[in-house]
Amino acid sequence: MTTDTAVHSPFTASAPAAPRRQGAKHQHRWWVLAVLALSQLMVVLDATIVNIALPTAQKALAFDSDQRQWVVTAYSLAFGGLLLLGGRLSDLFGRKVTYISGLVGFAAASAFGGFAQNFAELVTARAVQGAFGALLAPAALSLLSTTFTNGRERARAFGVFGAVAGSGGAVGLLLGGVLTEYASWRWCLFVNLFFAIVAIIGALTFFGKQGPAGTRPKLDIPGTVIVSLGLVGVVYGFSSAETNGWAQAQTVVSLAAGVLLLVAFVVLESRVAHPLLPLRVVLDRQRGGSYLTVALTGAGLFGVFLFLAYYLQTLRGYTPLQTGIGFLPMPVTVALTSTLIAPRLLPRIGPKPMIVVGALFGALGLLLLSRIGLASDYWTTIAPALVVLGLGMGNIFGAAFNTATSGIDPRDAGVGSAMVNTSQQIGGSIGTAVLSTLAADSVTRYLTDHGTSRSAQALAQLGSYQSAFLTSSGVFLGIAVLAFLILRWGRPQPRNQTAAGQKQHEPVAAH
């Protein structure tokens, strides 16, 4: 990664603040934030809300257990594989148009899935959801980045957005439990219609006229095909490893092909005139470090949702609703930290200390979770760990999302924002697969040594969850070290885009 201070870098110690643009002070900017946060919540919670409903959906549609993973995998494959394309399309056709198109498509796919009469229809709907989510998510983040350019307001806005990104998975578990228990599994899909309709109305009401930023970049077709196939290969490979093992041919071939294609993509992007992902976006030290932070956080955090939900339901006998409620301390703490603490700290101390300290809190929270036992008291063991973890995630997401989208040329805002979502998605896929494998190996070793009695099976499961939490704790320690080594010291300056960027782009809230 380059260490020079580029023209677009917002983390220079002495750069004077540029004049504040009038558009960024538009009276509707906070309504814009509310709309974008709502749509981001819809996309994030959809990765977990269906998990709670899967057993009921499987019984209703009569599909086999070995097919069940595809209801989740179809969404993650389409979403992860098409994110960079979705980001570049928002640069090509305008963020507002792309955003609303993503909402409409996501809502339509959700309705189709809610009415699904068989397994094929449900999986198709989930794949289409993922595809339109890949269109929607980068557009939302780039709209946020270009709407809020003043330092303090930007920190506050990204604090809210980070709270949604960091706690949406837990909210999905809670909402999925409520809908499954008191309505139907189908409402875990139908509920997206309410989110989407409100967001569409909000976008049409509060978003100003906005077209592409300056001269339209040309679409890099070869790069688009290569990176999409590469990302699909990586996501599918890790999904296959989770269910079939690392030695299976489909796992090895998928991962190898995915990695080779991604390497080829990097080589191609360094040579073409109009790259899908200009390497300047990721080679900036602050942004590159933030993308890495988001990826590793996804790897460590997804394991919390997965294994703590298993622990509460299989070993403690919680219902889906009780499990969702049990997660509440974390999203509440993330929301409070991201919206009240992070926005005040970021303009004063910059992202580096926030991410380092946040990662250390994350490591401590997971270390506390690893102390769970078969009869642990929720309020003295689990709830305190989730609060500490929430403190860490609030600082990480509040700082990393802001930094990852700062100083990007407006023409690259869409694809730069897509890299944030791509990093989180790939990190989550890797983390889930690796932790699942480690947990399964832990169970096998314990049962081999201690027999297969009911008590031995319970202790084996408990040990696998403890192992997963300890591994995730190590991941967050790694985040702290890497952030300390990669990110620069310094406060973000309250500045706008560059002068050239200002001429090319109007903030979304400007009328």
SS (H, E, C) 353-393: HHHHHHHHHHHHHHHHHCCCCCCCCHHHHHHHHHHHHHHHH
pLDDT (0 to 100) of residue 204:
92
Using a pLDDT cut of 90, give the percent of the chain over it.
34
Domain boundary among 245, 275, 305: 275
Which tens digit of pLDDT belongs to each residue from 275-308?
888 888 888 888 899 999 999 998 888 778 778 9
235 and 296 housed in the same domain: no
- Kindly tell me if the per-residue pLDDT of 214 is higher than 60: no
Number of CB atoms found within 10 A of residue 259's CB: 14
Three-class SS state of 150: coil
pLDDT band at 22 (very low <50, low <70, confident <90, very high): very low
Which residue matches tokens 């924002």?
Answer: 417
Torsion angle, CA of 67/72/75/80, rounded to 10 degrees? -110
Which tens digit of pLDDT belongs to each residue from 245-270?
788 888 999 999 999 999 999 999 88
Q: CB burial class (10 A; 0-12, 13-18, 19+) of residue 360?
A: middle
Report the alpha-carbon distance of residue 336 to residue 166 in Å, rounded.
Answer: 12
In a domain, 1, yes or no: no
What DSSP state is assigned to residue 11? -
Average pLDDT, rounded, for the chain: 83
- Kindly tell me if the per-residue pLDDT of 211 is higher than 60: no
Report the alpha-carbon distance of residue 407 to residue 422 in Å, rounded.
Answer: 19
Q: Which of 386, 406, 389, 413 is nearest to 487 (CA)?
A: 406
Domain boundary among 275, 291, 310: 275
Which tens digit of pLDDT belongs to each residue from 159-201?
888 788 777 777 888 888 888 888 888 999 999 999 999 999 9
Torsion angle, CA of 6/7/11/16, rounded to 10 degrees? 150
Spatial CB neighbours of 13, under 8 Å, sequence gap ≥ 6: 490, 491
Residues 407 and 6 sit within 8 Å (Cβ to Cβ): yes
In a domain, 254, yes or no: yes
Helix (H) or strand (E) holding 127: helix 119-147
Helix (H) or strand (E) holding 188: helix 187-206
Torsion angle, CA of 445/446/448/451, rounded to 10 degrees? -170
236 and 299 housed in the same domain: no
Q: Which domain holds residue 232?
A: 220-275
In a domain, 228, yes or no: yes
Report the alpha-carbon distance of residue 112 to residue 270 in Å, rounded.
Answer: 41
Q: Taking residues 501-511, what's their average pLDDT?
A: 37
Domain boundary among 233, 255, 275: 275
In a domain, 326, yes or no: yes
CA 180 to chain centre: 24
Spatial CB neighbours of 382, under 8 Å, sequence gap ≥ 6: 308, 326, 369, 372, 376
Report the alpha-carbon distance of residue 177 to residue 323 in Å, rounded.
Answer: 8
267 and 352 housed in the same domain: no
Report the alpha-carbon distance of residue 147 to residue 332 in Å, rounded.
Answer: 26
- Kindly tell me if the per-residue pLDDT of 274 is higher than 70: yes
235 and 318 housed in the same domain: no
- Kindly tell me if the per-residue pLDDT of 469 is higher than 50: yes
- Kindly tell me if the per-residue pLDDT of 449 is higher than 80: yes
In a domain, 510, yes or no: no
Which tens digit of pLDDT belongs to each residue from 317-350?
888 788 888 988 998 998 889 888 888 888 888 8
363 and 477 housed in the same domain: yes
Residues 199 and 137 sit within 8 Å (Cβ to Cβ): no
Tally of structural domains, the chain: 2
- Kindly tell me if the per-residue pLDDT of 217 is higher than 50: yes
In a domain, 403, yes or no: yes
Torsion angle, CA of 84/88/93/99, rounded to 10 degrees? 40
323 and 429 housed in the same domain: yes
Spatial CB neighbours of 48, under 8 Å, sequence gap ≥ 6: 168, 169, 170, 172, 173, 176, 305
In a domain, 14, yes or no: no
Helix axes 49-61, 151-182, angle to 10 degrees: 30
φ, ψ at 333 (rounded to 5°) = -70, -40
CATH number of the domain that residue 438 is part of? 1.20.1250.20
Using a pLDDT cut of 70, give the percent of the chain over it.
88
423 and 456 housed in the same domain: yes
What is the SS3 assignment for 17-63? Answer: CCCCCHHHHCCCHHHHHHHHHHHHHHHHHCCCHHHHHHHHHHHHHCC
200 and 280 housed in the same domain: yes
pLDDT (0 to 100) of residue 129:
94
267 and 143 housed in the same domain: no
- Kindly tell me if the per-residue pLDDT of 436 is higher than 70: yes
- Kindly tell me if the per-residue pLDDT of 498 is higher than 60: no
In a domain, 15, yes or no: no
213 and 241 housed in the same domain: no
pLDDT band at 494 (very low <50, low <70, confident <90, very high): very low
Report the alpha-carbon distance of residue 128 to residue 131 in Å, rounded.
Answer: 5
Report the alpha-carbon distance of residue 142 to residue 377 in Å, rounded.
Answer: 43
235 and 383 housed in the same domain: no
109 and 253 housed in the same domain: no
Which tens digit of pLDDT belongs to each residue from 369-394?
999 999 899 999 999 999 999 999 99
Distances (CA, A) of 2 to 272, 286, 288, 488: 20, 10, 9, 12
- Kindly tell me if the per-residue pLDDT of 87 is higher than 70: yes
Q: Taking residues 97-126, what's their average pLDDT?
A: 94
